[in-house]
Amino acid sequence: MIILYINIILLCLLVVTAIAINQQSNLFATTMLTGIFSLLSASLFVCLDAVDVAFTEAAVGAGIALILFLGTLSLIKYKEQIRNKVSIPGLLVVVITGSLLIYGLRDIPAFGKPENPVQIYLADKYIVESEKEIGIPNLVTSVLVSYRGYDTLGEVTVIFTAGIGVLMLLGRSRDNYKGIVSKEKP
């Protein structure tokens, strides 16, 4: 029962943070609020007993992403440019997408029911047989690395490709920073 109240409080705080991010025009404050948002989501994942996901969210969302945002902020202005004009097509797209999403919510199975599709397909096999087949206690690791090793290869390749993409777009000029400065200002 207490978990339910904690969940309600955390979800309310998430909504409050999201509204605050939307209202804020100072980008530094927005960045910090994004970090708080990630930390709140990590706490929610802990309440759902998904500690591995919570760990990742806390490390990536509240840690590294925040640092990268701050690094970007040091390259641009801190103040967001306010446009007061309301874009009618944008508003229409948002309203239509939002109502479609709420309509789609009706088909989602109830939270945590044992007969949900996610619980009856393969989950039993993993829970019962992974200890025997893989021999390690952490079910998440055995699913992530062994049963779904091919997917994880894809994820690692995506991260690697993202790194290469950033290097191609931003890396070269900054990497030779010393050289460029010494050439331009002898």
Partner 1 sequence: MEHHLVLSIVARILIPLIMLFALYVQFHGDYGPGGGFQAGVIFASSFILYGIIYGIENLRDVVHPSFIRSLAALGVLIYISVGIVTILNGGEFLNYNFLSEHPVTGQHIGIIFIELGVGMTVASTMIILFYAFARP
Examine residue 160 and tell whether it contacts partner 1 (CB under 8 A). Answer: yes
Instruction: For residue 32, give Cα distances in angstroms to 55, 71, 74, 76.
Output: 19, 13, 14, 16
Our CA dihedral for 119, 121, 122, 125, rounded to 10 degrees, sits at 70
Rounded Cα distance between 145 and 121, Å, is: 19
| Structure-token pair, residue 152 | 């994880």
| Structure-token pair, residue 20 | 């605050």
**Site map 107..136 versus partner 1, x via CB under 8 A:** --------------------------xxxx
Span from 28-36, 84-92, 113-121, 140-148 in contact with partner 1 (CB under 8 A): 140-148
**CB of 152 within 8 A of CB of 144?**
yes
Span from 7-15, 35-43, 108-116, 150-158 in contact with partner 1 (CB under 8 A): 150-158
- Options 67, 91, 100, 128; binder of partner 1; rule CB under 8 A: 67
CB of 80 to partner 1, least distance (A): 19
Collapsed DSSP state (helix, strand, coil) of residue 79: strand
- Options 8, 12, 15, 60; binder of partner 1; rule CB under 8 A: 60
CB of 32 to partner 1, least distance (A): 16
Rounded Cα distance between 56 and 65, Å, is: 11
| Sites of contact with partner 1 (CB under 8 A) | 51-52, 54-56, 59-60, 63-64, 67-68, 71-72, 74-75, 133-138, 140-142, 144-146, 149-150, 152-153, 156-157, 159-160, 162-163, 166-167, 169-171, 174-175, 177-178
